[in-house]
Amino acid sequence: MRKKIVIANWKMNLNIQEGILLFEEIQKEVLLNNFNPIIILAVPHTHINSISEKLSSNIYISAQDCSIYENGAYTGDISAEILYSVGAKYVILGHSERRKYYAENNLLLSKKVSIALKNNLKVIYCCGETISDRESNTYFEVIENQIKESLFHLNNDEIKNIIIAYEPVWAIGTGLTASSFQAQEVHLFIRNLIEKNFNKNIADELSILYGGSCNPKNSSELFSKNDIDGGLIGGASLNSNDFIKIINSIK
Ligand code: PGA
């Protein structure tokens, strides 16, 4: 049975005091309830160590990016090895904000994916089309390329350490959400793509999450679809009540 997963993407929000406060609110709920989904918090790099030291539940901590380099003279960069050493177990790669603002492309991301896996980080790999890709009906092609060019160099053991997040760019932070029909259509497409290149067992076990203005009002409808295994939550994850409601909406 593939895993249900809910990930909070805090992005560049919350100073360390605010971050610890929010983490403690979430951890309290996790300790009180026996939530079914795996819960991952993708926090700013600077918060990973302090939050990891406060973990007493089965929450996992993720980074939001890592360097393409293993180590060395790359001022300001943070390697996968360093992130793992302070407590990160996952890293988000390929988020549309990094593709847009830092010109990250599929080739660069394929290298980051390999470096992350080599250093024991599991990867949350984001893909998704822009509004013009959707309107020109080229979104399947765009998503196929994002997955092919960044993940198809992996072997069968490596791909098992990947979670894919489908995040239509037009839905991120906009309040517009893909309908459950639109999201399911793409999730199934991604699963079939993985089956074709790897095998059916790997495709069946791969968790594919939806992201893009997911909130407590729309999450249960989205999560009710066969191929939607949870969510990558931005804005709504900055409020513990909303985030817990989203976790609870997974059946
Ligand atoms: P959003 O962000 O939920 O605020 O749209 C999702 C994401 O960017 O991961």
Please answer whether residues 128 and 143 qualify as being in contact, where contact means their C-beta atoms are separated by less than 8 angstroms: yes
Q: Is 178 in the pocket of ligand 1 (CB under 6 A)?
A: no
Catalytic annotation, residues: 95, 167
Q: Is 177 in the pocket of ligand 1 (CB under 6 A)?
A: no
List, for residues 218-233, the tens digit of each pLDDT value: 999 999 999 999 999 9
Band of pLDDT at residue 34, cut at 50, 70 and 90? confident
* Nearest atom in ligand 1 to 9's CA: 9
Mean pLDDT of all residues belonging to the chain: 97
Q: Is 68 in the pocket of ligand 1 (CB under 6 A)?
A: no
* Nearest atom in ligand 1 to 126's CA: 9
- CB 199: neighbour CB atoms within 10 A? 12
List, for residues 63-95, the tens digit of each pLDDT value: 999 999 999 999 999 999 999 999 999 999 999
Query: Residue 84 C-alpha to ligand 1 middle, in angstroms?
Result: 24
Helix then strand then coil, in percent of the chain rounded to 5, is 45, 15, 40
Q: What is the pLDDT of residue 70?
A: 96
Q: What is the pLDDT of residue 91?
A: 99
Q: Is 232 in the pocket of ligand 1 (CB under 6 A)?
A: yes
Q: What is the pLDDT of residue 42?
A: 98
Q: Is 231 in the pocket of ligand 1 (CB under 6 A)?
A: no
Cα–Cα distances (Å) from 20 to 33, 91, 145, 205, in that order, read 20, 19, 38, 33
The arrangement of secondary structure in 5-248, i.e. its CATH architecture, is Alpha-Beta Barrel (3.20)
Q: What is the pLDDT of residue 19?
A: 98
Q: What is the pLDDT of residue 251?
A: 83
List, for residues 157-166, the tens digit of each pLDDT value: 999 999 999 9
Residue 240 has pLDDT above 90, yes or no: yes
* Nearest atom in ligand 1 to 173's CA: 5
- pTM of the predicted model as reported, rounded to 2 decimal places: 0.98
Residue 175 has pLDDT above 90, yes or no: no
Query: Residue 72 C-alpha to ligand 1 middle, in angstroms?
Result: 32
Look at residue 91 and give its three-state secondary structure.
strand
Q: Which amino acid is at 186?
A: V
CA angle, 149 then 147 then 94, to 5°: 90
Q: Which residue of 12, 233, 242 sits with most ligand 1 atoms within 8 Å of its CB, as the best mutation to test the pocket?
A: 233
